[in-house]
Amino acid sequence: MSEERPGHSATTADVVAELRRRAAFVMVSHVKPDGDTLGAGLALGLALERIGKRVCYFQQDPVPRTLRFLPGAARVSRELPKDLPADALFVFCDMSDPARAGSFLPAPARENVLDIDHHLGNTLFGALNYVLPAECSTGTCVMHLLRGLNVEIDAEIATCVLTTIMTDTGGLMHSNTSPEALELAAALMRRGADKERITREIFGNKRVAATRLLGRVVGAMQFGHDGRYCWSCVDDATLAACDADGEDTEDMVNVLLGQEGVEVAALFKAYDGEVRVSLRSAGRVNVQAAAASLGGGGHFRAAGMEYAGALHEAVAAVDAALVAQGLSSRA
C-alpha cells in the first residue's frame, strides 16, 4: 500500500526500531471490539511472538461471537499478567483516543505507549504515534511494520490482516477499498488467509435473533430532511423481544444508509445502561466532525459516540450536529 506520513506520524523505521528494542508487549484493543482493532493487534502480536518477543492481549470486552475464529482470539483477556516487565510497550490499535480502551486498563506511562491508527482526529496520545489516515484499516498500517520487521506472513497472520481489511471496507465495498487494499488482500490470500471463513463468520451466518432485530430496526426507520436522513433506535426492550444482544446490532446502520436517497444514517443504541450512536455517510456530510462535536470520533463516512443523556436528547443533538455539517432539506 502507498504510505502516507503526515508530519505527526512516526516513520515506519522509527516504529520498527522501537519494536525491536522492546522485549514485552501488551496489544490493546478498544471496547466494543471490531475486526480491525482485534485483527490488527493479533497480527502484530503473533508476528512479534514469532521473533521471540513476549506478548499479551488486553481487551476489556469479551471477544464478539463473530471474531472468535481469529487466530489467538482465545488469549485475549481483561487482566494483565502480574509479572509484566515495567518497560512493556502498550500498543493501542485502532483508537483515536486512549479512553476507547475502557476503564479497566491501568493507564500506562506515555513513554510506554505506541499508538497505531488510521482515524481522522487521532489525539496522538502515544510516545510514538503511527497514524496513517489514508490506510483503509489499522491492519494495513500494521502490514508496513511487519514488512519492516521482515517477519514471514504466515496463514494465521494473513487471516488477521485480511479480517481488518474486510471489516473496515465492509467486505471490500466501501469507498476506502483502494487498488492497494485489493492488491494486499490478494497477496494475503496467497499467503493462506482464509477469506471464506472471514466472510462466513463476519458477514454470513447471522443469528436468527439478529435478523429478527433487523426487522424491528427497519420497521422503526424514520426519515428526515426530505429523505436524506434515516435513523432508527434499539433499546433494551427491543433486544429482549428478539432474544438478541448488543453484538447483533453490528453493521445494521449500513442497512439504513443503503436506502434510496439517504445521505446520512444514524442508529441509536440505548441499552446496557448507555446511549451509543453509530453514524454513516454516503460521502457528502462529514460524520466524523459531527460525532467529534458530541465527544465521539471516527472517519469521514463512519463515526460514533457515547451520548451522556437520554435517548430523545441524543436524537435531537445528533440531528443538530449533522445539520451543522451540511445535512439539509432540499431547497
Q: Per CB under 6 A, does 303 bind ligand 5GP? A: yes
Write the interaction track for Mn ion spanning residues 142-181; mark x where CB under 5 A is met and - where it is not.
--------------------------x-------------
Cell digits of residue 130: 503511527
Give which of Mn ion, ligand 5GP, none residue 96 binds (C-beta under 5 to 8 Å, depending on kind). ligand 5GP
Give which of ligand 5GP, Mn ion, none residue 306 binds (C-beta under 5 to 8 Å, depending on kind). ligand 5GP
Q: Is the dihedral of CA 317, 321, 324, 329 positive or negative?
A: negative
Burial of residue 31 (number of CB atoms within 10 Å: 0-12, 13-18, 19+) = middle
Choose which of 157, 266, 302, 321 interacts with ligand 5GP (CB under 6 A). Answer: 302
Q: Looking at 64-72, 132-140, 300-308, 322-330, which segment touches ligand 5GP (CB under 6 A)?
A: 300-308
Nearer to ligand 5GP, 185 or 305 (CB): 305
Q: In what order do the strands lie in the sheet with 302-307?
A: 222-224, 229-235, 264-271, 274-281, 302-307, 297-298
Q: Per CB under 5 A, does 97 bind Mn ion? A: no
Q: Per CB under 5 A, does 36 bind Mn ion? A: yes
Cα dist from 78 to 105, 128, 166, 261, 297, whole Å:
8, 24, 26, 43, 24
Cell digits of residue 77: 483477556
- Total residues belonging to the chain: 331
Query: How many Å apart are CA 175 and CA 165, to the nearest integer?
Result: 12
Kindly state the smallest distance separating residue 295's Cβ from ligand 5GP, in Å.
7
Write the interaction track for ligand 5GP spanning residues 41-60; mark x where CB under 6 A is met and - where it is not.
--------------------
- State which of positions 64-123 bind ligand 5GP (CB under 6 A): 96-97, 100
Cα dist from 37 to 44, 64, 73, 91, 158, whole Å:
11, 12, 12, 11, 15
**Which residues are at the interface with ligand 5GP (CB under 6 A)?**
96-97, 100, 278, 296-299, 302-306
Binding site for Mn ion (CB under 5 A): 36, 94, 138, 168
